[in-house]
């Protein structure tokens, strides 16, 4: 699936920027450390938005397209921030046959975002995963550290309501 | 290097150790089909069209990247291989927009040609999901139709390795992999230099110039317009290829007749305004050299190069010559001097340029320094390929045309003007005139051989009456970048530098006829087309810009002297800092 690009405004802090710049500094102009730098950037910011990728491209003197190509190739890199509540729906084999696609679609339509995206208010992010080791409970979804088994599209509304900020 | 012996289809050949199966086959007189392979630029073994059987390898190997070893036997055309290639083609077709009847590259498409050669009978053997993409028409010089892309990566390799700008590349992965810019930005809003080298290496119709031929046909059929055309130096050695002439053939006479028969009111030569550029630029150089004013001075004829400086090295903007390019000077002179002389309202003059270049389309849209306020210097730019399309559409049998002559008053161009189309040509033309300006007499030998040839970077030093002039010439942006870095670091010092965005100069411009990889990998089209221009230079009666009678007249009647107040207003321009991101 194509990685969706976040439209949420970037709000990085000077501290984060200083940290990233220091990491780039440590790479000593070694362009083969690009992926390592991108991993550190994601640790610092939680995701790799345009502004961060430009900092990496400039700092390491590599084309922005190269950074973006790597960011969209590896599933470890995210282009959208994680929400306050991170929802992960298992699309592994067992969950899939038990109907997790319908669960995912329900989360998508309820939250108004695609997998890989974050709601504009930063409350929820949605992503898919492959097996959380609870196939007996399929279909399974995980919200933050809470695991939900035998989820149906009807239960999705309840789950979302539970985490909505009061 | 030591040689090794291999057999290709039973034929013994000796090749240098480390040679690929593709090279060994070529040496044995065997052609292996390729798609993604572009010599020195894209050697990735990705498309699997060039598969061969090798006695020391298991399974089929990609000939373009497989190094043969001593005593190895290579088979290139067994039934198994033919079947494998055919299936690869059928798989490519399963996700290809098969609109061949209406495709700009029909009959000049490497995929289509291979399908024919391998007898692909059904274009729907494998049916399944197909990618859907919008056509990106945001750039002023080209469009991209990803539904025709076969992901060979030749375009992104050209963008990265030849031009060092890398504004396109492969995004996402698996079935979603597609060629685009970072964050899916449209090509028109990224730091693309508009050189069009990606178009020239695209095997299919995925990348193509913006077709502006209808605008020209419309103007030609508008009785209120006085439609004039200019042809850039290297058009005369490029156009012939579209009509089956060998690479590098000079077809000036037929080019002129074809344009006249298309209905242009006047057919003029950009060689004239190339000479005008030399008058202005050589004078500017001598002044700047004397005053040590922002040296080295860089040439400004190549709009791809200009855009590159504006985006990537804005600190060098003061070093750029302020001269408009020959295309720009022609349009500016047409809408001022020519309009006055002929008594035509500049509003009614429609200037068409035939260029070997896609970036000229972008240049024509820079109207902030146009000669007549509110009017563009150039109305429409078409590439050599678009002109060929117009000639065919009009039913003109190009090969049967008699030779024609350019019209006055912009019909005479010197040999110095004609060599603008090859890397080093502008420098040589400027030197021919600068020698006269500095020493008072013409150089004994007009051939400045040190600045000729297709090497990426060339340097020379000339002593003009004790004035030491250090020059450098670079073509291809990756070479230009190297040179700029050396100048920046102080490692190299020059007085005058010529840069062309395209490797080899305009003869290899992004608007020239497309030669398939099978030709590009084996023939140096840059050198072959350039040879045509240097021959043209020798054949011309006048080889010095300042000796061109049309040039003398335009100064006598209008501009006065080079770099006069009037010429500054009309023939010179300014540049803008552009944001890369």
Contacts of B167 in chain A (CB under 8 A): 63, 65
* Domain B96-205 = CATH 3.30.70.20: yes
Q: Answer for the pair B166, B160: CB distance below 8 angstroms, yes or no.
A: yes
Q: Judge whether A102 lies within some domain.
A: yes
Mean pLDDT over all residues of chain B?
96
For residue range A20-65, list pLDDT tens digits in order: 999 999 999 999 999 999 999 999 999 999 999 999 999 999 999 9
Searching chain B, which residue's CA lies closest to the CA of residue A4? B183
Q: How many Cβ pairs within 8 Å bridge chains A and B?
A: 43
Residue of B173, B184, B581 lying closest to A73 (CB–CB): B173
Tokens 């199966």 sit on residue: B21
Give the model confidence (pLDDT) of B5-43 as tens digits: 999 999 999 999 999 999 999 999 999 999 999 999 999
Task: Decide if A72 touches B, using CB distance below 8 A.
Answer: yes
> Is CATH 3.10.20.740 what the domain over B3-77 is classified as, yes or no?
yes
Question: In the listed set A27, A49, A73, which residue is the last one of a domain according to the structure?
Answer: A73
CB contacts of A68 in chain B (<8 Å) are 169, 171, 182-183
A10 close to B (CB below 8 A):
no
How many distinct structural domains can be found in chain A?
2
Report if residue A7 sits inside a domain: no
* Whole-angstrom distance, CA of residue B433 vs CA of residue B447: 12
| Cβ within 8 Å, pair A67-B184 | no
Task: Give per-residue pLDDT as tens, B294-338.
Answer: 999 999 999 999 999 999 999 999 999 999 999 999 999 999 999
Nearest to B92, CA basis, from B118, B66, B61, B53:
B118
Distance from CA of A103 to the nearest CA of B (A): 24
Whether a cis peptide bond, with omega within 30° of 0, leads into A114 is no
Compute the distance between CA of residue A91 and CA of residue A111 in angstroms, rounded to an integer. Answer: 18
Quick check: A69 and B170 CB within 8 A?
A: yes
Preferred mutation among B153, B165, B169 to probe A, highest tally of A CBs within 10 A: B169
The answer as to whether A128 is a domain residue is yes
Give the CATH number, domain containing residue A90.
3.40.30.10
CB-CB neighbours of A48 under 10 Å: 24
A6 in a domain, yes or no?
no
Q: Do A65 and B166 touch (CB under 8 A)?
A: yes
Q: Is the pLDDT confidence value at A166 over 70?
A: no
User: Cα B491 vs. chain centroid, distance in angstroms?
Assistant: 30
Residue A95 lies in a domain: yes
Q: How far is CA B461 from CA B321, B435, B490, B496, in A?
A: 20, 13, 17, 10
Residue A164: predicted pLDDT: 87
- A50 inside 8 A of chain B by CB: yes
Q: Which residues pair with B209 in a beta bridge?
A: B142
Q: How buried is B57 (Cβ within 10 angstroms: 0-12 exposed, 13-18 middle, 19+ buried)? A: middle
Angle at B183 between CA B181 and CA B187, to 5 degrees: 35
Q: Is the ipTM of this complex over 0.90?
A: yes
Instruction: Report the share of chain B in percent with pLDDT over 90.
Output: 97
Closest CA in chain A for residue B169: A65
> DSSP label at A10?
P
Q: Nearest CA to CA, how far is A152 from chain B (Å)?
A: 29
Of A2, A50, A66, the CB nearest to B169: A66
Residue numbers in A near B581 (CB within 8 A): 54, 64
Q: Are residues A62 and A95 in the same domain?
A: no
- Whole domain around residue A98: which residue ranges? 85-163
Closest CA to B472 of B454, B486, B462, B457: B457
Q: Angle A64-73/A50-60 helices, nearest 10 degrees? A: 120
Is the model's pLDDT at B457 over the cut of 60? yes
| A49 and A93 both lie in a single domain | no
| Cβ separation B160–A54 shorter than 8 A | no
Domain B214-571 has CATH 3.40.50.1220: no
Give me the numbers of helices (H) and strands (E) for chain A, helices first please: 7, 4
**Does pLDDT of B1 surpass 80?**
no
Residue A165 confidence (pLDDT) above 80: no
Tell me if B183 and A68 make a contact (CB, 8 A cut-off). yes
What residues contact B413, with CB distance under 8 A and at least 6 apart?
B233, B269, B270, B271, B272, B274, B275, B406, B540, B548
Tell me phi and psi for residue B4, to 5 degrees.
Answer: -125, 160
């Amino acid at each position: 699936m194509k990685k969706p690009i976040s439209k949420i405004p970037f709000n990085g802090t000077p501290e984060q920027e200083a940290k990233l710049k220091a990491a780039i500094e440590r790479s000593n102009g070694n362009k083969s450390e690009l992926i390592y730098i991108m991993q550190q950037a994601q640790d610092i910011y939680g995701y790799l938005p345009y502004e961060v990728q430009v900092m990496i491209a400039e700092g390491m003197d590599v084309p922005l397209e190269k950074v973006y190509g790597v960011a969209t190739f590896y599933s470890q890199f995210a282009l959208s921030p994680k929400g306050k509540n991170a929802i992960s729906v298992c699309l592994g084999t067992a969950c899939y046959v038990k109907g997790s696609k319908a669960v995912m679609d329900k989360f998508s339509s309820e939250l108004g975002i695609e997998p890989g995206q974050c709601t504009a208010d930063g409350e929820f992010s949605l992503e898919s995963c492959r097996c959380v080791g609870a196939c007996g409970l399929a279909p399974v979804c995980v919200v933050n550290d809470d695991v939900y088994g035998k989820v149906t599209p009807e239960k999705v509304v309840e789950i979302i309501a539970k985490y909505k900020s009061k | 290097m030591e040689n090794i012996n291999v057999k290709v289809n039973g034929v013994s050949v000796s090749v240098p150790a480390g040679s690929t199966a593709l090279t060994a086959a070529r040496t044995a007189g065997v052609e292996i089909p390729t798609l993604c392979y572009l010599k020195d630029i894209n050697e990735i073994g990705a498309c699997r069209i060039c598969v061969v059987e090798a006695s020391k390898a298991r399974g089929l190997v990609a000939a373009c990247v497989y190094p043969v070893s001593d005593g190895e036997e290579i088979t290139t055309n067994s039934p198994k291989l033919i079947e494998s290639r055919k299936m690869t083609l059928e798989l490519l077709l399963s996700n290809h927009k098969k609109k061949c009847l209406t495709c700009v590259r029909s009959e000049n498409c490497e995929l289509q040609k291979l399908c024919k050669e391998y007898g692909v009978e059904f274009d729907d053997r494998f049916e399944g999901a197909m990618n859907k993409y919008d056509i990106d028409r945001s750039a002023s010089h080209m469009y991209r139709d990803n539904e025709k892309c076969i992901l060979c990566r030749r375009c992104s390799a050209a963008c990265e390795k030849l031009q060092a700008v890398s504004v396109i590349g492969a995004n996402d992965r698996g079935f979603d992999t597609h060629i685009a810019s970072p964050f899916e930005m449209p090509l028109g809003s990224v730091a693309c230099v508009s050189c069009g080298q990606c178009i020239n290496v695209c095997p299919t119709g995925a990348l193509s110039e913006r077709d502006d031929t209808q605008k020209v046909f419309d103007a030609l059929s508008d009785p209120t317009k006085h439609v004039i055309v200019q042809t850039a130096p290297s058009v005369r050695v490029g156009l012939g290829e579209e009509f089956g002439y060998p690479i590098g053939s000079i077809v000036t006479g037929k080019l002129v007749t074809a344009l006249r028969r298309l209905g242009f009111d006047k057919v003029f030569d950009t060689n004239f305004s190339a000479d005008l550029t030399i008058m202005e630029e050589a004078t500017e150089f001598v002044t700047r050299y004397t005053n040590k004013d922002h040296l080295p001075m860089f040439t400004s004829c190549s709009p791809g190069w200009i855009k590159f400086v504006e985006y990537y090295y804005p600190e060098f903007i003061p070093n750029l010559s302020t001269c408009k390019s020959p295309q720009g000077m022609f349009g500016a002179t047409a809408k001022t001097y020519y309009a006055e002389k002929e008594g035509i309202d500049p509003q009614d003059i429609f200037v068409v340029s035939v260029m070997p270049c896609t970036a000229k389309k972008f240049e024509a849209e820079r109207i902030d320094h146009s000669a007549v306020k509110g009017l563009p210097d150039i109305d429409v730019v078409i590439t050599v390929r678009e002109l060929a399309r117009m000639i065919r559409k009009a039913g003109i049998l190009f090969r049967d045309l008699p030779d024609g002559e350019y019209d006055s008053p912009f019909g005479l161009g010197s040999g110095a003007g004609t060599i603008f189309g090859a890397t080093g040509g502008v420098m040589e033309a400027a030197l021919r005139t600068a020698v006269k300006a500095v020493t008072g007499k013409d150089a004994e030998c007009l051939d400045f051989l040190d600045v000729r040839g297709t090497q990426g970077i060339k340097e020379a030093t000339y002593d003009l009456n004790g004035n030491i002039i250090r020059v450098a010439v670079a073509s291809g942006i990756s070479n230009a970048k190297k040179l700029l870095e050396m100048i920046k670091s102080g490692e190299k010092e020059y007085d005058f530098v010529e840069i062309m965005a395209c490797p080899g100069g305009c003869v290899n411009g992004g608007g020239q006829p497309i030669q398939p990889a099978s030709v590009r990998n084996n023939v140096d089209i840059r050198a072959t087309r350039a040879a045509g221009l240097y021959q043209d230079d020798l054949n011309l009666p006048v080889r010095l810009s300042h000796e061109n009678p049309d040039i003398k007249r335009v100064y006598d009647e209008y501009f006065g002297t080079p770099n006069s107040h009037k010429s500054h207003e009309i023939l010179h321009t300014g540049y803008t800092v552009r944001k890369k991101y």
